[in-house]
Structure 1
């Protein structure tokens, strides 16, 4: 199982690096900046997560990376899409704990690495 995950991680990393080489921005003047961002972000996140050994955690990281690649290609924007979660009404005594839990639960799969 780990061999399959390792191959999938390496395949995905290679795919992202290839995308960074051929990336064309909507605004041609930004293409080089966005290429550099894609490459640096991939390097940063892959090296940050290289210590992960739990198969479920590795799969979650792969799912996030695949979602970010698909969104970037679809919207022609390599940057993570911002997410706004409206604060729910919670009594003041429980507000901080409940809001932080709801905020974390409502975060889309492609935003989990943004806290790192």
Structure 2
């Protein structure tokens, strides 16, 4: 029950923030576009994950949501931050170290981008 309150609190916080969102670009038209993006992205991800019952997985998604929210507020950019992968793990696909490469890539993926691993 405590996790439910945390999830709903995070959702309400994101939706409230979306109505007050001001674009860092300074263009009056971009405010509405970014506000709409924040609301639609929150609704999409919360609906996508509403059937999750594992507490640890819920906690991971909460941490991801809070991290993305903090990054958006700090950088004044609601869109996902680019991911820069370490160069030493980028070998050719024919390389025998493919399994190790996948593991290193997974370990280097930041928490705020975990929701996109199913879609990419």
TM-score by length of 1: 0.91
What are the equivalent positions in structure 2 for 1:1-116 lying under 5 Å apart?
3-27=1-25, 28=27, 29-88=29-88, 92-95=95-98, 97-116=99-118
Q: Could you tell me how far apart the structure 1 residues matched to 2:101 and 2:38 are? A: 32
Structure 2 residue runs without a partner (length 5+): none
Q: Could you tell me how far apart the structure 2 residues matched to 1:115 and 1:93 are? A: 24
Q: Could you tell me how far apart the structure 1 residues matched to 2:102 and 2:36 are? A: 33
Q: Is the Cα contact below 8 Å between 1:68 and 1:80 reproduced in 2?
A: yes
Secondary structure of 2:73 counterpart: helix
Q: Is the Cα contact below 8 Å between 1:88 and 1:99 reproduced in 2?
A: no
Q: How many residues align?
A: 113
Q: Could you tell me how far apart the structure 1 residues matched to 2:102 and 2:96 are? A: 13
Deviation at residue 87 of structure 1 after TM alignment: 3.5
Q: Is the Cα contact below 8 Å between 1:87 and 1:99 reproduced in 2?
A: no
Give RMSD over aligned pairs: 1.5
Q: Could you tell me how far apart the structure 2 residues matched to 1:75 and 1:5 are? A: 28
TM-score by length of 2: 0.88
Deviation at residue 86 of structure 1 after TM alignment: 2.7
Post-superposition Cα deviations, 1:43-71, rounded to whole Å, max 9, x if no partner, equal: 11001111110100000000000000000
Q: Is the Cα contact below 8 Å between 2:86 and 2:108 reproduced in 1?
A: no
